[in-house]
Every structure is written in C-alpha cells, then in structure tokens.
Amino acid sequence: MTTSDLRRRLLELDVQILEHKRALQELEQTRTAVEQELLATATFPVSTLPSEITAEIFIHSSPPINSAHSFAPPLTVAPLSLMGVCRAWRDIVLATPTLWSTLLIAIHRIPDEMASKSDLVASFIEQWLARAGDCPLSLVVDNSMNNDVLDPSMVIRLREIIHRHSHRLQYLELDSLHEVGELGLASTEFPLLQHATLALVPDGLSVFRNAPRLNVLHLPGGIFHTSNLALPWLQLTKYEGMIRNLDLFIIAPNLAEISCELDQVFSLTTMTTHLCLNSLTITMGSLDTLIEHLTLPSLKFLYVSHAHDYTTLESFLRRSSPPLVTLSIWANEGLLKNWRRTIHHVAGTLENLEIYQPPQTFIYSIFNPYPPANDLHALQSLRTLTLQYVAHLFSPQDLTRFLYSRFGKLRSFKLVWCWDPVLNDYGEFYAGHTANTTRGHLHKLKIAGMDIYLGSFVQNYAAIEDNPAIV
C-alpha cells in the first residue's frame, strides 16, 4: 500500500472512531435519562405510608425529654432534621404539633453571636412553640455546662416566655439557672404542670403556688431546709434529688416514691414515720443513717446502692413491718451474717429479690438443697431472683436442683457473672445438650415457662441452642 493510501486509510478510521464516540455518547445520555425516569417512578415502602402513620413514627422516634442535655444542640433539632429530608416529610412535620411540643434550650451551646441577640432567640422559641398548637408543652432550659449568670436581657425573655406559655406547660426543667428566683414562678398559674426540676434552689425561693397538678419534684442539689423553699409540698407524690435530713418526710406526707442521694454529712437524731411511701431508691450514700431514724409501714419497693450495717436494715424492717414486694441491695459479708433475721420480717410478701455482688458463702447457701441451711427457704412467695456481679463458680447440679425445687413459684432467674464463664474454663457447665446435662435441664425449664438468664453482661448462654463455643 502506497503512502497516500495509508494516509487515506487513517482518515477513514478517524471518521469511524468519531462516529462511534458520538453514538456511545448518545447511548450514555439515553441511559441516564432512563435511569432518572426509573428513579422517579420507583416506589419506596416508607413513601407509601399514610401521613398519619409517618407522623406517629416521627413522634415515637423523638428523643426523650430527660436525655443527656450537655451534648444536645443549642435548640432541639429533631423536627428540623426531619424537615430537611424531603418536601413530603417537611409537610408532615409542620402538620404534626406534637413534634414541636418539646423544646430543649441548651444555653451554653448557643453561639455567642446569637446569644447576644436575645430577641432573635426569643423569636425562634416563640415560632417553635406556636407550631405546637394546643399541645401541652415540655420546656427545658439547660445552663449546666456554662454555670455563669445569664445576660439580663436573656433572663427577661425567658421570664416572658414561661409566663406566656405557663398555662400549657406540663414539664418544666431549669438546670443550673442562678436567676431562677427572677423568673416569677410563684406569680403565674401552671394549671397543667405535673413535673418540675430545679437544679439550683436559692434560700427563700417561692415557686409554683398555683400549680394544682404538680406531683413530681426533682431537686438534684437538694435543699438544706425545706422551710427555705415555698412549694405545694402536700400534693407531691414523687421526689428525686439530694436528701440532707428528714424534713421531706415530714413536710410532704403524701409522697409515694422517693429516689435520692444521701448527703455524706447526713446527721439525724429524731425518729420519723411516713405512712404513704411505698417506693424508696437510694442511688448514692449509705442507707444506714436514713433508715435508723425512719419507719415506713407502707413500703413495697426498696432499692439500695449499698449499706454498711445490715443490723440497721433488720431493725428497720422489724420496726416498719412493711408489705415489701421488691428488694434490690448490694451485698457484703455483713448481709450474710444478718440475712435470716433480716429477711424473716418480709418473708411472707417478698416476690422479687435482686442482690449485687453476693458473697461466695451466700451463693452456696442459696443453692444448698437442705432447707435449714438454705437462705431462701423462708421466701415461699419469691417469683424473681436476680444475682448480679457474681464472682464465684458453683456446682451446676446444685443450680438445676435449686431451679426445679422452686419451679412452682419462681418464674424468672437471672445470674450474671463478672466475667465470661465460657472463656474462663467453665465450658463444661454447658457441655452437651441431652436431657441429663445442665444445658438440657435449663432448656426443659425454659420450655416449661421459666425465664432464665445465665451468663455475662453481654451474653445469655441459657438462650443459646447451638453455639460451638459451649457445645
């Protein structure tokens, strides 16, 4: 082929290449158009739900009002985030007042440039609450991470907002606000308010004089003298917070539930009786000082973080003779020493028992098949038994024998080791799966209706049927 023929052939090939590129580009454009048309006509399950169902999902997915405030955005953003997904969701959110009925104002996280413009913040809050329609409101003002005094203009705006919407507030939480006394909480009416939290309580504070439904009070910092806080104490049925003396048990005789921390300098000299309290939870501090001077004849539920002197617990139960149904307590050797005398006073009513860190001797005593030595023998009404943070091994045969002996009443048994028994050479506990093995007996009991949890904090081995680690 001559030189001119070769050049002509190259030209022809270039033309063909251009034509193929043009055709390929047209095919790619056509494919993109078809793909977009397919996406436009695609049906996603969530988009086919009725608006009412979608709204209910949004409501149930909203974070609880008592979630961690310190890590929250400056203003509650759940509805705003949902609005940013698509136009349909935006319309649903705007048409669902309940989504706007909860507002958390984290003052310490509001940008300085915005915080200095109190009118702008107030306008945003008013717009938010207006979208709630006639729904009862839950309002949280959190200044816990800042703990500084607020700008006077911000205090004025907060007071105006609370007073303007006081007739709709059912939950009000003021966290670390030094200016709580300047909000005029005693000079306005709160006809729907049921739950109030005040983290800081200055002496002489008067609040909620006109809150006929207020029954839950949370004072994280407690108060030194209840006489320094003017409240409708008689209508309270639940208290959460610090306790420094027994004034609360005297001034609030209708309390049914208390969850509290005990001050380390707690000091008492007089005996007090509270006739209505049926639930007492001690989350921090020693129980001894409190119950040594307290009588609770209606107590049904007692949860104790720890106690030093179980002789005090025994005398408290003997003196109160309560119809105790649930007891949750941290153990030590003192518990075993006084256990039988202590539990004797509630043996006829106790149905639920939870013990943290039970001593080895106590574990052996529980699973002992002989009644005189069995520390649970007197608890004939026991329905649930929970042993947490167990640090000792025991005979699998004793466990199954105990569960069979309690099958008539005991409906739930939970034992949680501090470590993984399988990973600590205790695999033989679960070896095999025949009717005569421990695992087989546990399976039989579960089939018969007993709820059994046996394992670590993350794994219930009694629920595993085919796990190669324990076969």
| Per-residue pLDDT, 268 | 63
- E strand or H helix that includes residue 417: strand 412-417
In this structure, the strands spanning 137-142 and 169-175 are parallel
Q: Which candidate, 368, 353, 425, places its Cα nearest to that of 393? A: 425
Largest CA-CA distance found in the chain, in angstroms, rounded: 123
Under DSSP, the state recorded for 64 is P
The residue with tokens 């799966």 is 433
Tens digits of per-residue pLDDT, 357-404? Answer: 888 888 887 887 665 555 677 788 899 999 999 888 788 888 888 889
Which H/E stretch holds residue 284? Answer: strand 279-284
215 close to 238: Cβ distance less than 8 angstroms: yes
* Residue predicted with more confidence, 204 or 360: 360
CA atoms within 13 A on the CB side of 421: 26
d(CA 154, CA 371): 68
- Minimum mean pLDDT range among 282-286, 345-349, 422-426: 422-426
Would you say 293 and 250 are in contact if contact means Cβ atoms under 8 Å apart? no
- Classify residue 297 by burial, with Cβ atoms within 10 Å: 0-12, 13-18, 19+: middle
Give residue 71's pLDDT. Answer: 45
Residues 290/314, Cβ–Cβ less than 8 Å = no
CA distances from 202 to 221, 244, 250, 263 (A): 11, 16, 21, 18
Mean pLDDT lowest for which of 123-132, 166-175, 257-266, 444-453? 257-266
What pLDDT is recorded for position 415? Answer: 93
- Positive or negative: CA dihedral 307, 311, 315, 321: positive
The structural domains of the chain, with segments of one domain joined by +, span 50-236
Please report, as a single letter, which amino acid is at residue 168. Answer: R
Structure-token match 């208390």, residue found: 258
Report pLDDT digits (tens) over 36-89. Answer: 888 777 666 777 788 888 888 888 877 777 654 544 554 556 788 888 888 888
Which token pair is 376?
Answer: 């649970």
Reading the block at residue 133, the tokens are 């329609």
